[in-house]
């Protein structure tokens, strides 16, 4: 039996109204319907003294707490791997609890089962959201109180680049490239790294079209730059500019194209970016940070307004996808 058109129209109007309410809670927007990321409630990142760190036992190392699916946390994990910081820094994985809407600590640490409890243990204001990444110092024999050393990814990657490491650890932010690194950050953060969210969380067609066009125009600009001065964004040397972009582009076919509507052009349509992504994934330790199944579980399973069924669709094999040759575009 067919459903009368009037009932279908009423249902669509009702669902759209409910969708707007849900989206307002998930992702605030401006008057034009464009997503606006809430102001960051972050702690200014600080670096412990190298001598003080060297005197600690392994169980007293600061911990970098990340969630596998979070692209902002992914940046910090990349720096840890690329600079081999495991001798003075411990990685702690948090699990996304979709029902509770918070990060759980598995296993618990410092008597805390959730990231929120750990933030409170560190003395963070009750109004602050408990987000990843978080760099936490558990305290030493002279100071038993844990301290949140930082929780803003753009700052934390800079701190971790200065973290005590072996002499052969790469410097991802050399002084002579600092201007270029900052320039890429100013371009890529709003248009690409946040741009995929402005596509996915747009409230109307005009807001989506604006975000989508800015996103793909910027990708084309990056592709042209790589064609002239690659293999990395700043030329011959891998830098924090590459680290900050990679988590977004490695999630492209897994999450952002199918769920956020970033589908104006496939990524292989930008051949220099495509090969750049291949090169970075092939670096030692990088593939370990890429869990495509966790990404899809958390994005498709948690973002109810964008995917009400909660069904996690099958996705391509990440290794085969990234290592494939880009199709001939002639």
Residues taking part in catalysis? 70, 197
- CA–CA dist 145, 107 (Å, integer): 20
The residue behind tokens 């973002």 is 303
The candidate with the shortest Cα–Cα distance to 224, out of 174, 284, 270, is 270
Is 90 annotated as belonging to a binding site? Answer: no
Is 109 annotated as belonging to a binding site? Answer: no
Is 103 annotated as belonging to a binding site? Answer: yes
**Cβ–Cβ < 8 Å for 202, 33:** yes
Q: Cβ of 33: how many Cβ atoms within 10 Å? A: 17
64: its two tokens: 């970098």
Is 27 annotated as belonging to a binding site? Answer: no
Is 129 annotated as belonging to a binding site? Answer: yes
Is 243 annotated as belonging to a binding site? Answer: no
- CA–CA dist 328, 224 (Å, integer): 18
Is 142 annotated as belonging to a binding site? Answer: no
- CA–CA dist 253, 240 (Å, integer): 23
- CA–CA dist 224, 247 (Å, integer): 20
- CA–CA dist 318, 254 (Å, integer): 8
Per-position DSSP letters for 62-120, written without gaps between them: -EEEEETT-HHHHHHHHHHHHTT-TTT-EEEEEEEETTTTEEEEEEEETTEEEHHHHHH
**Cβ–Cβ < 8 Å for 48, 62:** yes
SS3 content of the chain, % helix, strand, coil (to 5): 50, 10, 40
Element (H, E) at 245: helix 240-250
**Cβ–Cβ < 8 Å for 232, 300:** no
Which residues sit in the known binding site? Answer: 103, 129-132, 152-153
Which residues sit in the known binding site for glutathione? Answer: 103, 129-132, 152-153
């Amino acid at each position: 039996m067919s459903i009368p058109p009037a009932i279908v129209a009423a249902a669509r109007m009702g669902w759209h109204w409910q969708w707007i309410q849900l989206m307002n809670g998930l992702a605030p927007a401006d008057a034009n319907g464009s997503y606006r990321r809430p102001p960051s409630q972050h702690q200014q990142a600080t670096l412990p003294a190298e001598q003080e760190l060297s005197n600690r036992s392994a169980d007293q190392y600061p911990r970098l707490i990340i969630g596998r699916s979070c692209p902002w946390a992914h940046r910090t994990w990349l720096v840890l791997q690329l600079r081999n910081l495991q001798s003075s820094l411990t990685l702690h994985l948090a699990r996304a609890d979709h029902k509770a809407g918070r990060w759980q600590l598995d296993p618990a640490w410092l008597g805390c089962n959730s990231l929120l409890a750990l933030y409170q243990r560190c003395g963070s204001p009750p109004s602050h959201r408990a987000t990843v990444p978080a760099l936490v110092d558990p305290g030493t024999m002279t100071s038993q109180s844990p301290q949140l050393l930082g929780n803003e990814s753009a700052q934390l990657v800079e701190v971790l680049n200065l973290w005590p490491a072996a002499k052969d650890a790469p410097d991802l932010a050399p002084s002579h490239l600092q201007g270029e690194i900052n320039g890429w950050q100013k371009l890529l953060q709003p248009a690409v790294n946040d741009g995929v969210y402005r596509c996915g969380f747009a409230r109307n067609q005009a807001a989506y079209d604006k975000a989508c066009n800015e996103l793909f125009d910027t990708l084309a600009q990056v592709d042209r730059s790589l064609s002239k001065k690659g293999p990395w964004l700043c030329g011959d040397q891998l830098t924090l500019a590459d680290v900050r972009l990679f988590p977004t582009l490695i999630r492209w076919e897994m999450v952002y194209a199918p769920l956020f509507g970033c589908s104006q052009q496939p990524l292989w349509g930008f051949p220099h970016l495509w090969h750049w992504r291949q090169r970075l994934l092939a670096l030692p330790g990088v593939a370990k940070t890429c869990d495509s199944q966790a990404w899809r579980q958390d994005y498709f399973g948690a973002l109810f307004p964008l995917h009400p069924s909660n069904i996690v669709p099958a996705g391509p094999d990440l290794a085969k996808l990234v290592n494939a040759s880009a199709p001939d575009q002639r």
